[in-house]
Copies of this chain bind each other. A is one copy, B any other.
Amino acid sequence: MLNKGCSEEEIFTFFSQKKREDMDHDYILSSMCTIPHPVAVRAHCMFMETNLGDPGLFLGTASLEQLLIERLATLFHLPTAGGYATSGGTESNIQALRLAKVSKQEVVYPNIVVPESAHFSFRKACDLLSLEMRPVPLDRNFRMDAEKAAEQIDKNTICLVGIAGTTEYGMVDPIADLAKIADAQDVLFHVDAAFGGMVIPFLNNPIPFDFALPGVSTIAVDPHKMGMSTIPAGCLITRDPDLLHSLNIDTPYLSVKQEYTLAGTRPGAPVVGALAVLDYLGKEGMRAVVSGCMKNTDRLIAGMELFGIPRAVTPDVNVATFTCRGIPEPWKVSWTRQGHLRIVCMPHVHLDRIEAFLKDTGEMYA
């Protein structure tokens, strides 16, 4: 650290240089985040200094957080559901498992049953919470096998997890079947819809994944992914609005006396950003965005198959995967654990980018 500070000009010239080392979003095809919507950025800047960790000081911002939760709860077919804004899917998943653990405190060696496709955050959560993770094989379409899931559940199972929009293949697990199993076996059922929660409700034929299914207990959804908000904006939504209070700890010297969140200080800015996008676009606007992403996904798959690069699976949401050796520079894609090429058709991946990528790939494979 320098003794005397630098001028603002020096600092921001340096920052601009550094920013140019970041990848241009024009070439990012691998991310589940995107360029935030302009109304999210405007809202973010307006609420820049707010701290939801001390809600008594920020009553207005805190009421907007509750409004966001209400919007999502209603979208997920249960307006009375509860929840709060997390730092993202990882925190939401950790907290769902904490809720499960505290609800079955009598279990000495608790386990959770998850699909093999579960996001790596479940590994973190199990490590943190000392839970045994029981991975369930997928069917040939990369969806959790519900029958095999049922077989894995025993008296020590505190939570069943299903994924609505898997990170690698964009598949929605058979949530309706899983919900029935969870209900019958009296196990908390957490749906990780971090990605799909802002996609599925806006599809032409939405796949059942939410509180409309009686067995679904909690849902993770990330507005900073397909909700086009700023980072960090995640949400954990709970069927029982009081469930989170089982995680309460005392918080002396704050404006509220207890809290159930994982983080203490929490930014209000991205939370209001998330609300801004939903209210600005409405259902129709979100349907248009999702429809565009799905059309681009279809176009990408069709285009790649013309080059003899077959899809790995037909995805439920806007993630396309292929059996493919490699792709041309400077495109930034990713690869699944099974070695498939993976491309996420986020809102910043406009049709002209898909066409440009197809042109480059076609030349490589010509």
**Which A positions have Cβ atoms within 8 angstroms of B?**
1-6, 8, 11-12, 15-23, 25, 28, 30-31, 33-36, 39, 41-51, 54, 56-61, 63-64, 71, 74-75, 87-91, 94, 98, 119-121, 123-124, 127-130, 167-168, 222, 224, 230-232, 249-255, 262-267, 269-270, 272, 276, 278-285, 332, 334-337, 342
Chain A interface helix/strand/loop/mixed: mixed
| Set B57, B265, B280: member contacting A88, Cβ < 8 A | B265
Cα–Cα, bound, A50→B19 (Å): 9
| Smallest Cβ-Cβ distance to A88: which chain B residue | B265
A253 touches B1 (CB 8 A): no
Q: How far is the CB of A223 from chain B (nearest CB, A)?
A: 11
Q: Is the pair B252, A11 in contact by a Cβ cutoff of 8 Å?
A: no
Residues from chain B with a CB closer than 8 A to the CB of A167 are 253
Q: Establish whether residues B280 and A11, one from each chain, have CB atoms under 8 Å apart when the complex forms.
A: yes
Task: Count this chain's copies in the assembly.
Answer: 2
CA distance A278 to B15 in the complex (A): 14
The reply to whether A120 and B262 contact each other, CB–CB distance below 8 Å, is no
Q: Which of B18, B57, B63 contacts A60 (CB 8 A)?
A: B18
- A31 and B57 in contact (CB under 8 A), knowing A15-B46, A63-B21? yes
**Interchain Cβ contacts under 8 Å between A and B, 16 examples:** A1-B283, A5-B281, A15-B276, A20-B60, A22-B57, A22-B61, A31-B54, A50-B231, A87-B232, A121-B264, A127-B249, A128-B128, A168-B252, A168-B253, A230-B267, A232-B232
